[in-house]
């Protein structure tokens, strides 16, 4: 019988959906599900939710809930991580300090000054988890859902021997969105997608083997409801010729084109019909509401109707391929770039097709990105590499330099202003960053 461990099981929506998916595979109907969280109350809600799924599906799976990570990991075949390090008071400084300097960040969980400081707080915990995996379940497959995805995976893959990859639902989610725009059944769509997390592009996108990009372009240009749904991404597509995976709200932060002036935010980042708030304050307000009402939300999620149909998250399919029934499964995962994308930095964390099988996880060579994409993605990848180096060495100067070259930050601030901003962010995070002996 397999054992699958959830670290951060109090992230209830993820836990609920991933457990539901797992139990739809015959190989896992009698598995052991180990739920681990440092918050006993959240853990209790997760246990009740999983019990409800098992009862609804009449499964014979066993559930263990514990705050002891060693107990949860011992003997595990697969591990899923959905943790968040740091609560709202420190997280909001990731947005508010840059905002005070004129760097208007929207979400801030992936890259740029906000993403880098979230990474600095999170990476020590993630490395500790990996070391526990090496100790208690060294052959386990570790699937990470925690952001910032690329920097965390790069650090874990470089510093430990754990089989780890990062998963982001934006690849399959955007592929389905594009299929809907052109009226294509998803089962008739194929694509090749590559880049880095949240900046991966569909290098080809086909409907029954034929190039579907002309249909996508027609929909974006001639149907206002389609253009308005993803204004930033649609502008990127019309000018860069390839469609990017992550949402407009995120992608507005990752370049210098949409958020460096208030008029641009007003034009591109305010009126979209998808979730695309133009101001950081809306993101903070949303987080405050969730924080103040989390118990009622937990009860609502726990008691909501149980749909036993398998969803489209990759985790259960990957586990089934590696230690379930062995069915091959191709997905986009975050792995180090050793001969995978020719014109991105060697060893950086990239998001490419990966084949899951009894042999484990095998990344697939993609080749070069189109030049106009490589220019954009290289900047982000090299900033991430420098931030990882700074985190692992405790060198705040490297963190400063990584933020200096962030496209949005450098479009707004001078070097002296960036230095002042980074110093202030280090001060706000000092209780979370013991690895840094001094600031830059």
CATH classification at residue 343? 3.90.110.10
- What tokens were used for 205? 């996108």
Residue 156, SS3 per DSSP: helix
Q: What's residue 156's pLDDT?
A: 98
A 10 A CB-CB count for 359 gives 11
Q: What's residue 310's pLDDT?
A: 93
Q: What's residue 439's pLDDT?
A: 64
Q: What's residue 157's pLDDT?
A: 98
Say if 59 falls within a structural domain: yes
Q: What angle do CA 161, 134, 353 make, to 5 degrees?
A: 45
Q: What's residue 419's pLDDT?
A: 98
Q: 394 and 253, same structural domain?
A: yes
Q: 191 and 62, same structural domain?
A: no
Of the CA atoms within 13 Å of residue 181, those in its CB half-sphere come to 27
Kind and range of the H or E element at 407?
A: helix 407-412
The tally of domains found in the chain comes to: 2
Is 383 within any annotated ligand binding site? no
Say if 437 falls within a structural domain: yes
Say if 376 falls within a structural domain: yes
Contacts of residue 372, defined as CB under 8 A and 6 or more positions apart, other chains included, come to 240, 241
Residues 118-140 have pLDDT tens digits of 999 999 999 999 999 999 999 99
Is 147 within any annotated ligand binding site? yes
Q: 380 and 303, same structural domain?
A: no
The enclosing domain of 101 has a CATH number of: 3.40.50.720
Kind and range of the H or E element at 172?
A: helix 170-182
Q: 438 and 410, same structural domain?
A: yes
User: What is the rounded CA–CA span in Å between residue 383 and residue 151?
Assistant: 10
Range of the domain at 365: 169-278+320-440
Full-model pTM: 0.94
Catalytic residue among 169, 286, 365, 401, which?
169
User: What is the rounded CA–CA span in Å between residue 100 and residue 117?
Assistant: 16
Say if 288 falls within a structural domain: no
Q: 55 and 73, same structural domain?
A: yes
Q: 96 and 19, same structural domain?
A: yes
Active site residue 169: yes
User: What is the rounded CA–CA span in Å between residue 105 and residue 342?
Assistant: 31
Q: What's residue 372's pLDDT?
A: 98
Residues 394-437 have pLDDT tens digits of 999 999 999 999 999 999 999 999 999 999 999 999 999 988 87
The crossing angle, in degrees rounded to 10, of helices 112-136 and 88-100 is: 150
Say if 286 falls within a structural domain: no
Q: 301 and 265, same structural domain?
A: no
Q: What's residue 172's pLDDT?
A: 95
Say if 287 falls within a structural domain: no
Q: 304 and 354, same structural domain?
A: no
Q: Give the residue from 100, 117, 80 showing the smallest Cα distance to 5.
A: 80
Say if 157 falls within a structural domain: yes
Length of the chain: 440
Let me know how many helices (H) and strands (E) the chain has, helices first.
Answer: 19, 12
Say if 283 falls within a structural domain: no
- Asked if 120 and 314 touch (Cβ cutoff 8 Å), the reply is no
Q: Tokens 């590696």: give the residue.
A: 322
In Å, what is the CA distance from 9 to each residue of 64, 82, 85? 11, 7, 14
Q: What's residue 85's pLDDT?
A: 92
Q: Give the residue from 85, 95, 428, 83 showing the smallest Cα distance to 284.
A: 95
Q: 314 and 332, same structural domain?
A: no
Q: 148 and 176, same structural domain?
A: no
User: What is the rounded CA–CA span in Å between residue 70 and residue 89?
Assistant: 29
Q: Render each residue's pLDDT in the chain as its tens digit; 440 residues.
A: 999 999 999 888 889 999 999 999 999 999 999 999 999 999 998 999 999 999 999 999 999 999 999 999 999 999 999 998 988 788 899 999 999 999 999 889 999 999 999 999 999 999 999 999 999 999 999 999 999 999 999 999 999 999 999 999 899 999 999 999 999 999 999 999 999 999 999 999 999 999 999 999 999 999 999 999 999 999 999 999 999 999 999 999 999 999 999 999 999 998 887 755 555 555 666 666 666 666 676 677 677 778 899 988 999 999 999 999 999 999 999 999 999 999 999 999 999 999 999 999 999 999 999 999 999 999 999 999 999 999 999 999 999 999 999 999 999 999 999 999 999 999 999 999 988 876 65
Q: 438 and 334, same structural domain?
A: yes
- Asked if 108 and 94 touch (Cβ cutoff 8 Å), the reply is yes
Q: 314 and 402, same structural domain?
A: no
Q: Tokens 């939300």: give the residue.
A: 297
């Amino acid at each position: 019988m397999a054992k699958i461990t959830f670290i951060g099981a109090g992230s209830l929506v993820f836990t609920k959906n991933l457990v539901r998916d797992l139990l739809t595979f015959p190989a896992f109907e009698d598995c052991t599900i180990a739920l681990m969280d440092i918050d006993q109350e959240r853990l209790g809600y997760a246990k009740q939710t999983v019990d409800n799924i098992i009862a609804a599906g009449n499964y014979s799976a066993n559930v263990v809930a514990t705050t002891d990570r060693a107990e949860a990991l011992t003997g595990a075949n697969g591990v899923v991580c959905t943790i968040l390090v740091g609560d709202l008071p420190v997280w909001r400084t990731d947005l508010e300090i840059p905002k005070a300097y004129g760097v208007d960040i929207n979400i801030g969980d992936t890259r740029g000054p906000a993403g880098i400081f979230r990474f600095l707080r999170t990476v020590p915990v993630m490395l500790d988890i990996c070391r526990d995996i090496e100790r208690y379940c060294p052959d386990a497959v570790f699937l990470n859902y925690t952001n910032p995805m690329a920097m965390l995976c790069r650090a874990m893959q470089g510093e430990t021997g754990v089989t780890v990859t990062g998963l982001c639902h934006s690849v399959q989610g955007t592929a389905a969105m594009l299929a809907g725009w052109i009226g294509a059944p998803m089962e008739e769509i194929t694509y090749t997608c590559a880049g880095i997390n949240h900046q991966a592009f569909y290098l080809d996108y086909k409907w029954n083997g034929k190039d579907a990009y002309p249909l996508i372009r027609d929909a974006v240009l001639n149907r206002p409801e389609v253009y308005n749904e993803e204004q930033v991404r649609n502008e990127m597509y019309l000018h860069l010729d390839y469609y990017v995976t992550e949402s407009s709200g995120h992608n507005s932060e990752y370049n210098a084109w949409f958020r460096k002036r208030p008029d641009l935010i007003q034009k591109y980042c305010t009126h979209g019909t998808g979730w695309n708030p133009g101001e950081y304050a809306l993101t903070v307000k949303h987080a405050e509401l969730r924080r103040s009402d989390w118990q009622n939300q937990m009860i609502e999620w726990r008691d909501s109707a149980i749909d036993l149909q398998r969803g489209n998250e990759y985790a259960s399919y990957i586990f089934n391929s590696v230690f379930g029934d062995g069915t091959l499964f191709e997905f986009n995962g975050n792995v180090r770039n050793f001969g995978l994308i020719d014109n991105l930095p060697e060893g950086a964390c990239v998001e490419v097709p990966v084949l899951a099988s009894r042999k484990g996880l095998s990344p697939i060579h993609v080749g070069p990105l189109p030049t106009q994409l490589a220019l954009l993605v290289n900047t982000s990848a090299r900033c991430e590499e420098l931030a990882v180096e700074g985190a692992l060495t405790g060198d705040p100067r490297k963190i400063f330099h990584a933020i200096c070259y962030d496209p949005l930050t450098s479009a707004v601030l001078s070097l002296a202003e960036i230095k002042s901003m980074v110093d202030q962010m280090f001060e706000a995070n000092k209780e979370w960053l013991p690895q840094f002996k001094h600031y830059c």
